[in-house]
Amino acid sequence: MPSRAHAWTLRYLRLCGVALPLLLVLHATRGPTVREPAVSPTADDALHAVDATPARWRGFARRGRQLLRARDIFGKKETERRPRSRRSESRHLPAFETERRGSTVVRADATPENLRLLYAIMAYDRKQHIHLLTMLHSAVSMCEGGLRVTILLYTADSNPYTPKEREELQALCDSCTGRTGGTLALENIAVDAQLKFDATMQHRKEFLRRIDEYDLFVYSEDDVHIELRHIAAYVEASSHLARSEDGHKYVLGWQRLERNGIGLGAEHVMWENGVDNYHGVEVGGRLYATMVNPHAGAWMATRAELKAHHKQCRILHIPKTAGSFTRVRAGGWNLYMNCGRRKVLPVRNFQNFLVHHLPDKNWWQRSECAVAVPDLLAHFRGWNERYARGDRSMVCGRWWIPGDFCRDELQVVPAGERKKRFGIKGSCTVWRNRTSGEETITLPNEKMKRLAAIVQAREDAGSRAAKNLRVVASSGGDGRSISSRRFRGSMLRHGG
Ligand SMILES: *[C@@H]1O[C@H](CO)[C@@H](O)[C@H](O)[C@H]1NC(C)=O
């Protein structure tokens, strides 16, 4: 029945004529997408056959613009393909240096722009190797995302890697397929163990020496989980600050969160700043948040930013400081507090500026008023909604203009005084209004305190129990198999 088939075909095509432009419009309003696969030829043909209205061409043009924007997410196109290898330094362990992949890598279309990232990690005593591995797994993801990454892994020379450990790390870096043009190189720099806390500053030398060879710079302690999403969010916000009038008064950074455990609150928590320790600032028509305690054990800068910081305060020189706070300075404090800027995080995508502090222990060891991240995010969503309606009550002012910044009037009561007068420990704050003398207390979070007590009790019980357990040495217990003829275990004997 040819006529009936014909009628059905017509009906089908009419349906497609309605549905496809609708789908296109829906697709176009989804916002920019990174690495969108190209429309397949067959789908494209179908579109041509069905609909040839101007709306369709507008849809295509919009889609094209989106793809172009997606290409721009990681900034400008680079001409140089990859960082040059450096093998001269004697303290670099040459066998451990991996330089990956020749120039045969074919770059897929619509990938990020293969920015070059110099990523320094301080793993002084290597006690957090398990966390370092998590970080390196994400470095592989950065490579797969198209970044050309060089990791400078700083360790103390008192505790070198074994050949087996080196092989393992090298194999991990080599596992990046590089299919979007990314690379992953690892250099181990063994520093003099006598440097102690000064070891955390050593990355500044390499950053300065190689400043023109990379586009992005990250320094991190060996337990902060930095992922590709953090880098992408940073690059986007950084370009917004660079375009904004007062952008040079601020510096972007991350804040740390931890997990309070399955079976406990099962939430992400933060312990370094309570909800009221964040104050809004307005930069270039966007809302950002600045905080009382800017420490995060990690920082990042683009090349342009790092050059500006270095010009402003010689940030890549190693200062003469001693003691444990040197580690905090190296971890970003100098940049956030001593370099003519203040640290901010964008409010609109705050969660992509929160990095996981992998040990998950500070919230219960160092704070009585840890705040649940969902509560903090809800607080910022409220800010966003009010800000969008024209409300500016959460904006605190410009910090560099005396009398303009709301926080100028507020003084944090020192920890010792706070503990003595209010019995409140940890990262919880008490504010004093310099003008009125009035004090505001960030109350300890009762739920977090209870959860912390549970974790503490488990920890204590665990270490008591561990004292009574001896580690049993077993032969051949490395998981390998042996021939059953050589096996003299009880299982086989009993089984006959
Ligand atoms: C500090 O106290 C003064 C005087 O009572 C008041 O006007 C001002 O708003 C207070 N500042 C803040 C930030 O609360």
What CATH number is attached to the domain comprising 99? 3.90.550
CA of 59 from ligand 1 middle (Å) equals: 54
Q: Please enumerate in sequence order all residues whose Cβ is within 8 A of that of 262, keeping only pairs 6 or more positions apart, or say none.
A: none
CA of 292 from ligand 1 middle (Å) equals: 18
Burial 447-466 (b: 16+ CB within 10 A, else e): ebeebbeebeeeeeeeeeee
Task: Count CB-CB contacts under 10 A for residue 16.
Answer: 16
**pTM confidence score:** 0.76
Query: What are the percentages of helix, strand and coil residues in the chain, rounded to 5?
Result: 45, 15, 40
75 versus 177: which is more confidently predicted? 177
Q: Is 440 in the same domain as 297?
A: no
In a domain, 163, yes or no: yes
| CB of 127 closer than 8 Å to CB of 161 | no
Distances (CA, A) of 90 to 93, 95, 156, 391, 440: 7, 12, 15, 58, 55
Q: Which of 393, 435, 441 is the pocket-test mutation for ligand 1 (most atoms within 8 Å of CB)?
A: 435
In a domain, 99, yes or no: yes
Q: Is 291 in the same domain as 177?
A: yes
In a domain, 395, yes or no: no
Nearest atom in ligand 1 to the alpha carbon of residue 407 is 13
- At residue 72, does pLDDT exceed 70? no
CA of 145 from ligand 1 middle (Å) equals: 49
Token readout for 24 is 């296109």
Per-residue confidence band for 35, with pLDDT thresholds at 50, 70 and 90 = very low
- Collapsed DSSP state (helix, strand, coil) of residue 70: helix
- Nearest-CA neighbor of 297 among 331, 270, 255, 253? 331
Q: Is 382 in the same domain as 416?
A: no
Per-residue confidence band for 268, with pLDDT thresholds at 50, 70 and 90 = very high
Q: Is 292 in the same domain as 177?
A: yes
- At residue 243, does pLDDT exceed 80? yes
Token readout for 413 is 């009561």
| Cα 328 to Cα 491: distance, rounded to the nearest angstrom | 54
Q: For the ranges 4-13, 106-115, 163-172, 224-233, which has the lowest average pLDDT?
A: 106-115
Q: Is 374 in the same domain as 415?
A: no
Q: How many domains does the chain have?
A: 2
Which pLDDT belongs to residue 4? 63
CA of 436 from ligand 1 middle (Å) equals: 6
Q: Please enumerate in sequence order all residues whose Cβ is within 8 A of that of 197, keeping only pairs 6 or more positions apart, or say none.
A: 322, 323, 324, 326, 327
Q: Is 325 in the same domain as 438?
A: no
- Nearest-CA neighbor of 45 among 8, 19, 20? 20
Nearest atom in ligand 1 to the alpha carbon of residue 433 is 1
Nearest atom in ligand 1 to the alpha carbon of residue 434 is 1
The residue nearest atom 10 of ligand 1, judged by CA position, is: 433
The residue nearest atom 14 of ligand 1, judged by CA position, is: 433
| Cα 89 to Cα 431: distance, rounded to the nearest angstrom | 50
Which pLDDT belongs to residue 473? 56
Q: Is 225 in the same domain as 304?
A: yes
Q: What is the mean pLDDT of the chain?
A: 81
Which pLDDT belongs to residue 371? 93
Mean pLDDT of the 176-201 span: 95
CA of 289 from ligand 1 middle (Å) equals: 20
Q: Which of 399, 431, 433, 438 is the pocket-test mutation for ligand 1 (most atoms within 8 Å of CB)?
A: 433
Token readout for 298 is 């990690």
458 versus 473: which is more confidently predicted? 458
Q: Is 350 in the same domain as 460?
A: no
CA of 41 from ligand 1 middle (Å) equals: 66
| CB of 346 closer than 8 Å to CB of 380 | no
Last residue of a domain, one of 357, 388, 419: 388
CA of 438 from ligand 1 middle (Å) equals: 8
Nearest atom in ligand 1 to the alpha carbon of residue 410 is 13
In a domain, 40, yes or no: no
- Nearest-CA neighbor of 238 among 255, 224, 257, 253? 253
Which pLDDT belongs to residue 265? 81
Q: Which of 276, 404, 409 is the pocket-test mutation for ligand 1 (most atoms within 8 Å of CB)?
A: 409
| Cα 97 to Cα 92: distance, rounded to the nearest angstrom | 8
CA of 135 from ligand 1 middle (Å) equals: 44
Q: Is 309 in the same domain as 270?
A: yes
CA of 439 from ligand 1 middle (Å) equals: 11
In a domain, 343, yes or no: yes
In a domain, 200, yes or no: yes
Mean pLDDT of the 184-189 span: 97
The residue nearest atom 2 of ligand 1, judged by CA position, is: 436
Which pLDDT belongs to residue 262? 78
> β-strand 342-346 against 250-252: which pairing, if any?
parallel
Q: Is 384 in the same domain as 410?
A: no
CA of 401 from ligand 1 middle (Å) equals: 17
Residues with C-beta less than 6 Å from any ligand 1 atom: 406, 409-410, 433, 435-436
17 versus 434: which is more confidently predicted? 434
Which pLDDT belongs to residue 376? 97
- At residue 198, does pLDDT exceed 70? yes
In a domain, 153, yes or no: yes
The end-to-end CA distance of the chain, in Å, is 74
- Nearest-CA neighbor of 17 among 9, 27, 29, 6? 9
- At residue 171, does pLDDT exceed 50? yes
Token readout for 202 is 């050593």
Q: Is 327 in the same domain as 453?
A: no
Which pLDDT belongs to residue 484? 73
| Cα 151 to Cα 222: distance, rounded to the nearest angstrom | 12
The number of C-alpha atoms within 13 Å of 293 and in the hemisphere containing its C-beta is 19
| Cα 328 to Cα 221: distance, rounded to the nearest angstrom | 10
Q: Is 268 in the same domain as 322?
A: yes
The residue nearest atom 13 of ligand 1, judged by CA position, is: 406
Which pLDDT belongs to residue 5? 60
CA of 407 from ligand 1 middle (Å) equals: 10
Question: What is the residue range of 425's domain?
Answer: 406-468
Last residue of a domain, one of 362, 388, 414: 388
- Show the CA angle centred on residue 128, arms to residues 123 and 134, nearest 5°: 95
| Cα 292 to Cα 270: distance, rounded to the nearest angstrom | 13
| Cα 149 to Cα 142: distance, rounded to the nearest angstrom | 8
Which pLDDT belongs to residue 485? 75
Which pLDDT belongs to residue 477? 58
In a domain, 459, yes or no: yes
- At residue 86, does pLDDT exceed 70? no
The residue nearest atom 4 of ligand 1, judged by CA position, is: 436
